[in-house]
Structure 1
Amino acid sequence: MEVYIVIISFIIFVIMLFIVSTYLISSMIYNNLSNKTINKKVNKLQSIMYNKLSNDKGMNEEDIEQIKKISSTKLGLRAFYLAYKDYINNNGYDFVIKEYINRIISYEKIRKNSIVRDKYKKSYILYLLSEFRIDSEKTRQISLQSLQDDSIYIRNNSLKLIQNIGDVELALQAINIINNTEKYFNEKILLDFLDNFKGDIDILDKKLLDILGNYNIKLKTKIIEHYSNRKNDSLEIRDSMLNYISTSDNKDVIISSTRYFKRVIDNRVANILNKNLKNEHWEVRAISAKVISKYPNKKAIDILKQTIGDNNYFVRYNSAFSLISMEEKDQIMEELLNHHDRFAKDILAYVMFVNNIIDFESYNNYKEKFAVQGG
């Protein structure tokens, strides 16, 4: 009896092994055939695109219909995506290619020929729409609706689509939805959306400034950071940032506005920075101590000589770096030897070493001396 069981088990094992092997071999054959088919289609599409677009000939109706036909299947759509990405990577994206793509590719075509499972289908459709920058009433509607989806991938891809469409009013609608939704949007994603907007970014910046006060703190700080990243130094933005840094009661807004003036120089901010070196929030003191190096002045030097002894390490650290950038070596040495606070002496000695004002041996000697003196 046991012999029969062993034989039957072995037969079942062989059958299962055969089925698995057949499946794997079939999959490999299918993938190889698919890849060959895709490569063949890619070569044909590249030939059309490079010959007609690169030489300013333009594609005629016959070319467009041929590409439409090729891209009407799942493998064909994949091939067209690869050919399209290769072309814009080498030639850039312009109005001409945008017009052709919007004639060839549509939401319905992408939806019909999606090559991923249903669970990821909507996200993948939005991804392809954003890659092709498909601009239609349908895609605009879907992109805004999808900002409220439960899936973070769908939300991010819909934001990417809006970014790539490049319409200012559509972008403002999206930002308004984000401002009022409880759905999570990563701060880096939001900043990328603003920094790499494909439309008229100057108009977008101006319109955002007009309603900046209506946004929540998170969104407001990201918009300010965006202005900083772009080094947008328009008078209207500088005036607004000066107002926020001097009147806001929110430390995150003050910090973002302060960082703006590290990249965009406006001497009107100097006195405000001097005042904020004594702010109740250490984060505000720390960023003010860092940015003040861009605005050297006598009052700042006097305050920095105090803040190198601040209770917070980051305030001391930034204060020491800014102080060294403003004072002569002899004056710094005098401050190092005569300051009453041990922690101030320690941080000043360290920053002097980092800036090659003193060597490592001198730095260690000062540390030992300060340790013995206490403070």
Structure 2
Amino acid sequence: MQIYVYYSIVFFSIIIIFLYFYILWEKIYEIYKNNKRKRYLDEILDLVDTSINTITSTGNVDSVDIRLFSPYFISNMKMKIIEDRLIYYIENFKDIPLKPIIEFVEKLGLVDMQINCLLKNNMHTKALACKTLGEMRSKKAIKYIMREVKSPSSDIQYNALLALAKIGDEIAFTYAFNSITSSIFLNERSLIEIIQSFEGDKKYVYNHMINCENDLLSCIFIKSAVSIKDSSLGENISKFLSSSSSEKKIASIKALSSMEDKRYIHDIAECLKNKNWEIRAVAAKALGLFGDSSILASLTESLSDSQWFVRYNSAQSILLIDKDLHSLPSIFNGNDKFAKDIIAAEIENLGFMDKITSYKDSQDINKRQLCYSISKYIKEVND
């Protein structure tokens, strides 16, 4: 038994020694690569920067001799430096004409190299190629990226859709989303991020995809439309306030309220009467964002709703809109205990009690009466 213990100690000691030397080798190799990269960096960056300056000043890609780059393409490291620098210009310099730079990237063959990577079976290689092609913004790559949109790998699907968003071709982008209606492997947050990253005509994309037959995608585009705050989109979204789909109706209420489009405030207020309590709750919360006192009566009525969340959201919205608390006397002078309970709770939660207490010595008899009514009710409840 003792001999097995010794063998185990020797075995694990050898493994630890090998692991140590492996880590040491990796560290030395990394330092070597970084030093090697630094030696190439200044020369290559100077060539790329000079070429970009020539292209942007002349607007002609042919003004740069492509043969100057040929010696650097025999090394993957040198080629990567060139690729990264050109992508840096495309990603960060929006004030210079990008079309000739993208054409230059294509002429160097960098786009073709990444397209070839899409033909490989390695999932990581495909995802990275999609990401890089998106950063290059080359429309030449669209048809190849489109093949990866339905990939069962969420990483590939995400990078393929994001690449199409960066390239900014409206037709390809909408077609890609319509083609994945039965094969979406991404969560809502990722899809919204991709949609909001689109660099083409967003209005065209939203108007087409808001009306998508797939309810999930339609709702996602409705939710993400908030980011551009285009009033014409509000007209398209508002029609879903009467939709039979609860998901579309809720998404529309949230979108219109976030846009603060007051044209539809009373249509949203009508949703307080919907038989679906979730829609009523969302509408009650959304109405508070408009800050419009014309819907206080509807919100006050909703304080008596059978669902707690509807009452809670209504109380919050009332206090958010009615900062002078003019609507509270009618609530506390009424007989609805549900309404009194929820509004009293929110008065305390939102810190309005100090303001109401200050009304005690007010010259305004209505304010003094309000202070008395609320203080009395809260005392009765606590007792």
Q: Does 1:317 align with 2:320?
A: no
Q: Measure, in 2, the Cα distance between the counterparts of 1:343 and 1:276.
A: 20
CA distance, structure 1, for counterparts of residue 283 and residue 36 of structure 2: 61
Aligned mates of 1:216, 1:96 — CA distance in 2: 38
1:219 is displaced (CA, Å) by 0.4
Question: Is 1:146 the equivalent of 2:144?
Answer: no
Superposition map of 1:217-296 within 5 A: 217-234=215-232, 237-246=233-242, 248-293=243-288, 294=290, 296=292
Query: Structure 1: how far apart are the matches of 2:45 and 2:160?
Result: 28
User: 2: distance between equivalents of 1:20 and 1:242?
Assistant: 63
Partner SS state of residue 185, structure 1: coil
Q: Tell me how far apart the structure 2 counterparts of residues 273 and 41 of structure 1 sit (CA, whole Å).
A: 62
Matching residue of 2:131: 127
Local SS of the residue matching 1:141: helix
Q: In structure 2, how many angstroms separate the alpha carbons of the residues matched to 1:100 and 1:121?
A: 24
Residue among 332, 338, 341 paired with 2:333: 338
What residue number does 2:166 align with? 164
Which one-letter code corresponds to 1:243 in the other structure? K
Please, which of 172, 175, 197 is the counterpart of residue 173 of structure 1? 175
Query: Quick check: 2:83–2:110 contact (8 Å CA) kept in 1?
Result: no
Looking at structure 2, the residues matched to 252 and 146 of structure 1 have their Cα atoms a distance apart, in angstroms, of: 29
Name the amino acid aligned to 1:147: V
3-state SS of paired residue (1:146)? coil
Q: Any idea what the Cα deviations from partners look like across 1:58-92, whole Å, max 9, x if unmatched? A: 67665543345425533224323443354456533
1:1-375 aligned at under 5 Å gives the runs 19-54=18-53, 56-57=56-57, 64-67=66-69, 69-88=71-90, 90-92=92-94, 94-110=98-114, 118-136=122-140, 139-179=141-181, 181-208=182-209, 212=211, 214-234=212-232, 237-246=233-242, 248-293=243-288, 294=290, 296=292, 298=294, 300-327=295-322, 329=324, 331-353=326-348, 357-359=352-354, 368-372=378-382
Change beyond 3 A, Cα 1:317–1:366:
farther
Q: For residue 168 of structure 2, what is the amino acid of its counterpart?
A: G
| CA-CA distance at 1:155 after TM superposition | 0.9
Give the Å deviation of 1:185: 2.4
Q: How many angstroms does 1:197 deviate by?
A: 0.7
Q: Considering only aligned residues, what root-mean-square deviation do their CA atoms show, in Å?
A: 3.6
- Give 1:152 shift: 0.8
- CA-to-partner distance for each residue in 1:68-124, whole Å, 9 max, x for gaps? 54255332243234433544565337223222222224354237789x994522222
Instruction: Kindly state the Cα deviation for residue 290 of structure 1 after the two structures are TM-superposed.
Output: 2.5
Q: Distance in 1 between matches of 2:75 and 2:319?
A: 66
CA contact (8 A) 1:245 1:258 kept: yes
Q: Percent identity?
A: 21
| Contact residue 72 and residue 109 of structure 1 kept, 8 A | no
Structure 1: distance between partners of 2:380 and 2:41 = 71
Gaps of 5+ in 2: 358-370
CA contact (8 A) 1:353 1:360 kept: no
TM-score, length-scaled by structure 2: 0.78
Amino acid at match of 1:252: E
1:285 is displaced (CA, Å) by: 0.9
CA distance in 1 between counterparts of 2:313 and 2:253 reads 14
* Contact 2:291–2:320 under 8 Å retained in 1: no
Given the superposition, is the C-alpha separation of residues 351 and 335 from structure 1 closer, same or farther in structure 2, using an over 3 Å criterion?
farther
Aligned-partner Cα distance in 2 for 1:259–1:315? 15
Task: Compute the displacement of 1:193 (Å).
Answer: 2.2
Q: How many residues align?
A: 359
Instruction: Determine if contact 2:296/2:327 at 8 Å carries over to the other structure.
Output: no
Question: What is the CA–CA distance in structure 2 between the aligned matches of 1:366 and 1:226, rounded to whole Å?
Answer: 46
Task: Tell me the distance in 1 between the aligned counterparts of 2:347 and 2:139.
Answer: 57
Letter matched to residue 186 of structure 2: F
Which runs of 5 or more residues in structure 1 are unaligned?
Answer: none
- Residue by residue, what CA displacement relative to the aligned partner does 1:25-71 show, whole Å, maximum 9, x if unpaired? 43333222212222333333322333443574467665543345425
Change in Cα spacing, 1:301 to 1:65, as seen in structure 2 (3 Å) is same
Asked if the contact 2:246/2:279 (under 8 Å) is kept, the reply is yes
